[in-house]
Amino acid sequence: MHGGTAAERARSMARSGQHFLQIPGPSPVPERVLQAMDRQVIDHRGPEFGRLGREVMDGCRSIFRTAGPVVIYPSSGTGAWEAAIVNTLSPGDRVLMAETGQFATLWRQMAARLGLEVEFIPGDWRRGAPPDVIEATLASDRSHAIKAVMVVHNETSTGALSRVPAIRRAIDAAGHPALFMVDTISSLGSADYRHDEWQVDVTIACSQKGLMLPPGLGFNAMSEKALAASRTNRMPRSYWDWAEMLKPNANGFFPYTPATTLLYGMREAIAILHEEGLDAVFARHHHLAAATRAAVGAWGLEVLCQEEAEHSPVLTAVMMPPGHDADHLRKVVLESCDMSLGAGLGKLAGKVFRIGHLGACNSLVLAGALSGVEMGLARAGVPHRAGGVAAALAVLAEPGDGGLRTQERHGKAA
């Protein structure tokens, strides 16, 4: 029977079926990964663990695209940020960072707390880090006082993707020896990334975003140059110390208790990424992002990122019309459609909402998510034009959609 008010009917509709987790991390965990983790813990000093550890560490190298070591911490991304700093730099060192958004701002705050002197290239939170300014700043630093360039690859608060190869070229063009550190916390596994080819010295990542795992693993991939710096730098550390990690890692083991259960999930997530093929994964995310921007444009709303070449394949941040609160829209969408959208962070609070299309997302999930946004805009009384979903479907129907492949892959039992 259809009893109750319209709002009650909407809530009842929302409670059946599955929750749509469309925030830009944590992202939904595929069924296969959940099943891989549904098992008893094992002795982390026994032979079975050694095999698992080695497999996961080798697999990580293939995702970071590096021949060098990747250390895995039981930590969030913030811990991996700290590990990168304390293993390579010394108190008082100057570093160059770029204000791409809230995550770059938080990383800067951490660097300052750890005693670094940060030169922060100002930004308007609507584009990636500027290679030309980085080049000019390094070129004028003739005494090589700047010890590291630290950028966020995918700025999760704004949906802008910094051009890491262009920044590498900028550092080289200035002939500057600074270390190059990149936060790929939300991009790794969803956006193209090449640690070795792009000559990054430290790549920082974590489990719960592009890699389709629950929160709880932090990563550092490192170059020879970064390892050399770690042998002479003067930042105190213990838990995060690379040297302590790398010794037992050689045989697949850890210096302390690792997140065993998550490592089983990691092994499965790596297998899923390779079954689809990394290039196909990245193409799928570009396609989903293009469809999302088509919807936003058709609604008559504005995408926050203004740089055509820097639109994120991981998420899209959408600006609210003046006078309308993004958090109210998110609340309406959650209550009526059981979908979580990302909030505006820092100075963007209430001004933008973020649609995640990272990790295990495919065309039908995205179409459902965009439908929820379109219904939410109407319910919340936000001025917009109808037809955003139709515009997105037109893009999704074009060749290049990896939706069907993704569907098959995640449906298959382990």
First to last CA, the chain: 41
CB 28 within 8 A of CB 265: no
Which of 76, 90, 261, 407 lies at the binding interface for ligand PLP (CB under 6 A)? Answer: 76
Residue 346 DSSP symbol: G
The structure tokens listed for 238 are 């213990």
Residue 40 CB-density burial (10 A; 0-12 exposed, 13-18 middle, 19+ buried)? exposed
Q: State both tokens at 277.
A: 């093929």
* CA-wise closest residue to 163 among 145, 151, 172: 151
Shortest Cβ distance from residue 138 to ligand PLP (Å)? Answer: 23
Q: By CB under 6 A, tell whether 206 contacts ligand PLP.
A: yes
Using the minimum distance from each CB to ligand PLP, give the nearer residue, 152 or 245: 152
Binding of ligand PLP at residue 123 (CB under 6 A)?
Answer: no
CB of 25 to ligand PLP, least distance (A): 6
Binding to ligand PLP by residue 310, rule CB under 6 A?
no
Residue 206 Cβ vs ligand PLP, minimum distance, rounded to whole Å: 5
From the CB of 186, what's the least distance to ligand PLP, in Å?
4
Cα(206)–Cα(51) distance, rounded to whole angstroms? 22
Check if the beta carbon of residue 74 is closer than 8 Å to that of residue 240. no
78 lies in the binding site for ligand PLP (CB under 6 A): yes
Give the residue nearest to ligand PLP (CB): 77
| 102 contacts ligand PLP (rule: CB under 6 A) | no
CB contact at 8 A, 114 and 240:
no
Stretch that binds ligand PLP, among 28-36, 180-188, 230-238, 278-286 (CB under 6 A): 180-188
Is 90 a binding residue for ligand PLP by CB under 6 A? The answer is no
Candidates 21, 146, 152, 333: give the one binding ligand PLP (CB under 6 A): 152
Among the listed ranges 63-71, 76-84, 189-197, 324-332, the one in contact with ligand PLP (CB under 6 A) is 76-84
Give whichever of 83 and 382 is closer to ligand PLP, judged by the CB atom. 83
The number of beta carbons lying within 10 Å of the beta carbon of residue 100 is 31
Query: Which residue number, 20 or 103, has a Cβ lying nearer to ligand PLP?
Result: 103
169 annotated to a ligand binding site = no
Residues 267, 72 contacting (CB under 8 angstroms): no
Query: Shortest gap between Cβ of 372 and ligand PLP (angstroms)?
Result: 22
Q: Is 412 exposed, middle or buried (0-12, 13-18, 19+ CB in 10 A)?
A: exposed
Residues of the chain by 3-state class (helix, strand, coil), percent to 5: 45, 15, 40
At its nearest, how many Å lie between ligand PLP and the CB of residue 78?
Answer: 3
Question: In sequence order, what E strands does 296-385 have?
Answer: 302-303, 315-319, 339-343, 352-356
Q: Is 186 in the site for ligand PLP (CB under 6 A)?
A: yes
Residues 248 and 241: beta-carbon distance below 8 Å: no
Give how many residues touch ligand PLP by CB under 6 A: 11
**185 lies in the binding site for ligand PLP (CB under 6 A):** yes
Q: Among residues 317 and 396, whose Cβ is nearest to ligand PLP?
A: 317
- Residue 156 binds ligand PLP, judged by CB under 6 A: yes
Residue 339: phi, psi to the nearest 5? Answer: -125, 135
Q: Determine, following the binding rule CB under 6 A, whether residue 21 of this chain makes contact with ligand PLP.
A: no
Q: Between vectors from CA 284 to CA 282 and to CA 290, what angle results, nearest 5°?
A: 105
- Which range touches ligand PLP (CB under 6 A), out of 181-189, 232-240, 244-252, 400-408? 181-189
Is 25 near ligand PLP (CB under 6 A)? yes
- Retrieve residue 355's tokens: 């649609």
What whole-number distance in Å separates Cα of residue 328 and Cα of residue 348?
A: 14
Binding test (CB under 6 A) with ligand PLP, winner from 28, 59, 77, 159: 77
Asked if residue 318 lies in contact with residue 295, where contact means CB atoms within 8 angstroms, the answer is no
> For residue 78, what is the enclosing H or E element?
helix 77-88
When asked if residue 103 is in the footprint of ligand PLP (CB under 6 A), the reply is: yes
Burial class, 297, CB count within 10 angstroms (exposed 0-12 / middle 13-18 / buried 19+): middle
Contact between 316 and 357 under an 8 Å Cβ cutoff? The reply is yes
Q: Could you tell me the smallest distance in angstroms from the CB atom of residue 142 to ligand PLP? A: 32
Is residue 73 close enough to count as binding ligand PLP by CB under 6 A? no
Minimum Å distance from CB 399 to ligand PLP? Answer: 31
Residues in the annotated binding site: 354
Residues in the annotated binding site for substrate: 354
Q: Which residues bind ligand PLP (CB under 6 A)?
A: 25, 76-78, 103, 152, 156, 183, 185-186, 206
